[in-house]
Amino acid sequence: MATPHISAEKGDFAKTVLMPGDPLRAKFIAETFLTDAVEVNHTRGILGYTGLYKGKRVSVMASGMGCPSIGIYSHELFNFYDVENIIRIGSAGALSERLKVRDIVAGIGSNTTSSYAEQYHMPGTLAPTADYTLLSTAVDCAKARKIEMHVGNLLCSDAFYNEGGMAETVSWAKMGTLAVEMESTALYLEAARAGKRALTIVTISDHLITGEATTAEERQNTFTQMMEIALDTAARMEEV
Protein backbone atom coordinates (compact mmCIF):
# COMPACT_ATOMS: atom_id res chain seq x y z
CA MET A 1 0.00 0.00 0.00
CA ALA A 2 2.97 2.32 0.49
CA THR A 3 3.05 5.45 -1.69
CA PRO A 4 6.23 7.17 -2.89
CA HIS A 5 6.20 9.32 0.26
CA ILE A 6 4.32 7.35 2.95
CA SER A 7 5.34 3.88 4.13
CA ALA A 8 2.11 3.11 6.03
CA GLU A 9 -0.35 0.38 5.12
CA LYS A 10 -4.00 1.04 4.37
CA GLY A 11 -5.90 1.34 7.64
CA ASP A 12 -2.89 2.65 9.56
CA PHE A 13 -4.30 6.20 9.62
CA ALA A 14 -7.36 7.35 11.53
CA LYS A 15 -10.27 9.21 9.96
CA THR A 16 -8.71 12.50 11.11
CA VAL A 17 -5.04 13.44 10.80
CA LEU A 18 -3.40 16.40 12.54
CA MET A 19 -0.58 17.85 10.44
CA PRO A 20 2.12 20.00 12.00
CA GLY A 21 4.92 21.05 9.68
CA ASP A 22 7.70 19.83 11.95
CA PRO A 23 8.23 16.05 12.38
CA LEU A 24 9.41 16.64 15.94
CA ARG A 25 6.15 18.42 16.72
CA ALA A 26 4.29 15.34 15.47
CA LYS A 27 6.42 13.20 17.77
CA PHE A 28 5.76 15.57 20.69
CA ILE A 29 1.98 15.40 20.15
CA ALA A 30 1.99 11.61 19.93
CA GLU A 31 4.08 11.21 23.07
CA THR A 32 2.24 13.90 25.06
CA PHE A 33 -1.41 13.44 24.15
CA LEU A 34 -1.99 10.03 22.56
CA THR A 35 -2.19 6.65 24.27
CA ASP A 36 -1.05 3.44 22.58
CA ALA A 37 0.59 5.53 19.86
CA VAL A 38 2.24 3.56 17.06
CA GLU A 39 4.63 4.98 14.48
CA VAL A 40 3.08 4.46 11.03
CA ASN A 41 5.45 6.51 8.88
CA HIS A 42 9.07 7.58 8.89
CA THR A 43 9.83 7.90 5.16
CA ARG A 44 12.06 10.92 4.46
CA GLY A 45 12.00 11.71 8.18
CA ILE A 46 8.29 12.65 8.04
CA LEU A 47 7.11 11.06 11.27
CA GLY A 48 3.53 9.81 11.54
CA TYR A 49 1.69 8.19 14.46
CA THR A 50 -1.74 6.76 15.23
CA GLY A 51 -3.10 6.37 18.73
CA LEU A 52 -6.04 7.13 20.98
CA TYR A 53 -7.21 10.46 22.34
CA LYS A 54 -10.17 10.37 24.74
CA GLY A 55 -10.80 6.87 23.45
CA LYS A 56 -11.01 8.04 19.82
CA ARG A 57 -8.54 6.99 17.13
CA VAL A 58 -6.47 9.96 15.93
CA SER A 59 -3.39 10.28 13.73
CA VAL A 60 -0.69 12.93 13.58
CA MET A 61 1.87 13.28 10.80
CA ALA A 62 4.21 16.05 9.71
CA SER A 63 3.64 17.88 6.42
CA GLY A 64 6.99 19.54 5.85
CA MET A 65 7.10 23.19 4.76
CA GLY A 66 5.31 24.91 1.91
CA CYS A 67 2.48 24.14 -0.50
CA PRO A 68 4.34 21.50 -2.56
CA SER A 69 5.15 19.44 0.54
CA ILE A 70 1.75 19.52 2.25
CA GLY A 71 0.16 19.11 -1.17
CA ILE A 72 1.91 15.76 -1.66
CA TYR A 73 1.12 14.40 1.80
CA SER A 74 -2.49 15.60 1.97
CA HIS A 75 -3.15 14.27 -1.56
CA GLU A 76 -1.88 10.82 -0.62
CA LEU A 77 -3.73 10.75 2.70
CA PHE A 78 -7.03 11.85 1.16
CA ASN A 79 -6.86 9.71 -1.97
CA PHE A 80 -4.94 6.57 -0.95
CA TYR A 81 -5.49 6.16 2.80
CA ASP A 82 -9.19 7.01 3.20
CA VAL A 83 -8.47 9.98 5.48
CA GLU A 84 -11.55 12.21 5.74
CA ASN A 85 -10.25 15.19 7.73
CA ILE A 86 -6.90 16.94 7.93
CA ILE A 87 -6.27 19.67 10.48
CA ARG A 88 -3.08 21.62 9.90
CA ILE A 89 -1.62 22.87 13.18
CA GLY A 90 1.26 25.23 12.63
CA SER A 91 2.81 28.59 13.27
CA ALA A 92 2.20 31.90 11.52
CA GLY A 93 3.37 35.48 11.46
CA ALA A 94 0.84 38.08 12.60
CA LEU A 95 -0.17 40.77 10.10
CA SER A 96 -2.85 42.34 12.29
CA GLU A 97 -2.42 44.64 15.26
CA ARG A 98 -5.34 42.77 16.83
CA LEU A 99 -3.10 39.75 17.38
CA LYS A 100 -0.40 39.01 19.92
CA VAL A 101 2.33 36.38 19.92
CA ARG A 102 0.85 33.02 21.03
CA ASP A 103 -2.68 33.95 19.90
CA ILE A 104 -4.52 31.21 18.01
CA VAL A 105 -6.09 31.73 14.58
CA ALA A 106 -8.36 29.46 12.55
CA GLY A 107 -8.13 30.15 8.83
CA ILE A 108 -11.59 30.40 7.28
CA GLY A 109 -10.03 31.36 3.95
CA SER A 110 -6.57 31.20 2.40
CA ASN A 111 -5.43 34.18 0.36
CA THR A 112 -2.30 33.24 -1.54
CA THR A 113 0.68 34.23 -3.66
CA SER A 114 1.10 30.58 -4.68
CA SER A 115 0.40 29.22 -8.16
CA TYR A 116 -0.77 25.88 -6.73
CA ALA A 117 -4.34 26.28 -8.03
CA GLU A 118 -3.23 26.69 -11.64
CA GLN A 119 -3.22 22.89 -12.07
CA TYR A 120 -7.03 22.87 -11.86
CA HIS A 121 -7.44 25.16 -14.92
CA MET A 122 -10.38 27.08 -13.46
CA PRO A 123 -11.96 29.78 -15.66
CA GLY A 124 -11.79 32.31 -12.83
CA THR A 125 -10.38 32.80 -9.33
CA LEU A 126 -10.67 29.78 -7.05
CA ALA A 127 -11.10 30.66 -3.35
CA PRO A 128 -9.52 28.05 -1.03
CA THR A 129 -11.59 27.79 2.15
CA ALA A 130 -11.82 25.66 5.26
CA ASP A 131 -14.55 23.10 5.77
CA TYR A 132 -17.41 24.58 7.80
CA THR A 133 -18.03 21.46 9.90
CA LEU A 134 -14.39 21.27 10.98
CA LEU A 135 -14.22 25.02 11.59
CA SER A 136 -17.43 25.22 13.63
CA THR A 137 -16.41 22.17 15.65
CA ALA A 138 -13.02 23.72 16.40
CA VAL A 139 -14.69 26.97 17.47
CA ASP A 140 -16.94 25.01 19.86
CA CYS A 141 -13.94 23.11 21.24
CA ALA A 142 -12.03 26.35 21.86
CA LYS A 143 -15.04 27.82 23.67
CA ALA A 144 -15.36 24.69 25.81
CA ARG A 145 -11.76 25.15 26.93
CA LYS A 146 -12.29 28.90 27.39
CA ILE A 147 -9.52 29.59 24.86
CA GLU A 148 -9.84 32.64 22.63
CA MET A 149 -9.46 31.69 18.98
CA HIS A 150 -9.55 34.29 16.22
CA VAL A 151 -11.24 33.31 12.95
CA GLY A 152 -10.38 35.01 9.66
CA ASN A 153 -8.37 34.88 6.48
CA LEU A 154 -4.77 33.75 6.25
CA LEU A 155 -2.15 34.60 3.64
CA CYS A 156 -0.42 31.53 2.25
CA SER A 157 2.94 32.57 0.82
CA ASP A 158 5.50 30.61 -1.19
CA ALA A 159 8.32 32.81 0.14
CA PHE A 160 9.54 32.81 3.74
CA TYR A 161 12.28 35.32 2.94
CA ASN A 162 10.34 37.91 0.96
CA GLU A 163 12.32 40.44 -1.09
CA GLY A 164 9.32 42.77 -0.98
CA GLY A 165 9.44 42.88 2.81
CA MET A 166 6.65 44.48 4.80
CA ALA A 167 5.46 46.57 1.86
CA GLU A 168 3.77 43.54 0.31
CA THR A 169 2.26 42.18 3.51
CA VAL A 170 0.75 45.56 4.40
CA SER A 171 -1.55 45.27 1.40
CA TRP A 172 -2.89 41.96 2.64
CA ALA A 173 -3.34 43.35 6.15
CA LYS A 174 -5.42 46.22 4.76
CA MET A 175 -7.84 43.62 3.39
CA GLY A 176 -8.30 42.05 6.82
CA THR A 177 -5.82 39.19 6.49
CA LEU A 178 -4.80 38.14 9.99
CA ALA A 179 -1.57 36.18 9.54
CA VAL A 180 0.82 34.67 7.02
CA GLU A 181 1.88 31.01 6.74
CA MET A 182 2.88 28.66 3.92
CA GLU A 183 0.59 25.61 3.66
CA SER A 184 -3.14 26.35 3.92
CA THR A 185 -3.85 26.96 0.23
CA ALA A 186 -2.58 23.58 -0.97
CA LEU A 187 -4.32 21.77 1.89
CA TYR A 188 -7.68 23.44 1.21
CA LEU A 189 -7.44 22.82 -2.53
CA GLU A 190 -6.49 19.16 -2.13
CA ALA A 191 -9.42 18.67 0.27
CA ALA A 192 -11.84 20.35 -2.14
CA ARG A 193 -10.64 18.25 -5.07
CA ALA A 194 -10.92 15.02 -3.07
CA GLY A 195 -14.30 15.92 -1.57
CA LYS A 196 -12.83 15.81 1.93
CA ARG A 197 -12.50 18.25 4.85
CA ALA A 198 -9.60 20.48 5.89
CA LEU A 199 -8.88 23.20 8.43
CA THR A 200 -5.82 25.25 9.35
CA ILE A 201 -5.25 26.32 12.95
CA VAL A 202 -2.12 28.32 13.67
CA THR A 203 -0.44 29.86 16.68
CA ILE A 204 1.22 33.24 16.21
CA SER A 205 4.94 32.56 16.53
CA ASP A 206 6.16 35.99 15.47
CA HIS A 207 4.70 39.41 14.79
CA LEU A 208 5.59 41.20 11.57
CA ILE A 209 4.60 44.57 13.05
CA THR A 210 6.12 44.45 16.54
CA GLY A 211 9.05 42.15 15.73
CA GLU A 212 8.34 39.89 18.71
CA ALA A 213 9.12 36.20 18.09
CA THR A 214 9.30 32.76 19.75
CA THR A 215 12.17 30.27 19.47
CA ALA A 216 12.17 27.06 17.39
CA GLU A 217 12.03 24.99 20.59
CA GLU A 218 9.03 26.96 21.87
CA ARG A 219 7.22 26.40 18.56
CA GLN A 220 7.91 22.69 18.79
CA ASN A 221 6.93 22.10 22.42
CA THR A 222 4.76 24.86 23.86
CA PHE A 223 1.90 25.56 21.45
CA THR A 224 -0.26 23.10 23.39
CA GLN A 225 -3.56 25.03 23.40
CA MET A 226 -3.72 24.84 19.60
CA MET A 227 -2.91 21.13 19.78
CA GLU A 228 -5.66 20.51 22.35
CA ILE A 229 -8.28 22.32 20.25
CA ALA A 230 -7.31 20.24 17.21
CA LEU A 231 -7.33 16.98 19.18
CA ASP A 232 -10.74 17.76 20.70
CA THR A 233 -12.01 18.53 17.19
CA ALA A 234 -10.62 15.25 15.86
CA ALA A 235 -12.32 13.31 18.64
CA ARG A 236 -15.67 14.96 17.94
CA MET A 237 -15.35 14.27 14.21
CA GLU A 238 -15.48 10.55 14.94
CA GLU A 239 -19.21 11.08 15.57
CA VAL A 240 -19.85 12.97 12.29
Question: Annotated binding site for a purine D-ribonucleoside, which residues?
Answer: 5, 181-183, 205-206
Binding residues for phosphate, as ranges, are 21, 25, 44, 88-91
CA–CA distance, 22 with 65 (Å, rounded to integer): 8
Task: Kindly compute the dihedral angle of the four CA atoms of residues 52, 234, 179, 146, in this order, to the nearest 10 degrees.
Answer: -90
CA–CA distance, 60 with 13 (Å, rounded to integer): 9
Q: Let me know: does 110 contact 156? Beta carbons within 8 Å.
A: yes
CA–CA distance, 47 with 35 (Å, rounded to integer): 17
Q: Let me know: does 130 contact 198? Beta carbons within 8 Å.
A: yes
Helix (H), strand (E) at residue 206: strand 197-207
Binding residues, as ranges, are 5, 21, 25, 44, 88-91, 181-183, 205-206
Quick one: which of 201, 171, 172 has its CA closest to 184?
201
What separation in angstroms does the CA of 176 have from each of 47, 91, 118, 152, 172? 35, 19, 25, 8, 7
Catalytic residue among 22, 36, 103, 206: 206
Number of other CB atoms surrounding residue 25 within 10 Å: 23
Active site residue 206: yes
Give the 3-state secondary structure of residue 136: helix
CA–CA distance, 6 with 12 (Å, rounded to integer): 11
Q: Let me know: does 213 contact 93? Beta carbons within 8 Å.
A: no
Q: What are the residue numbers of the active site?
A: 206
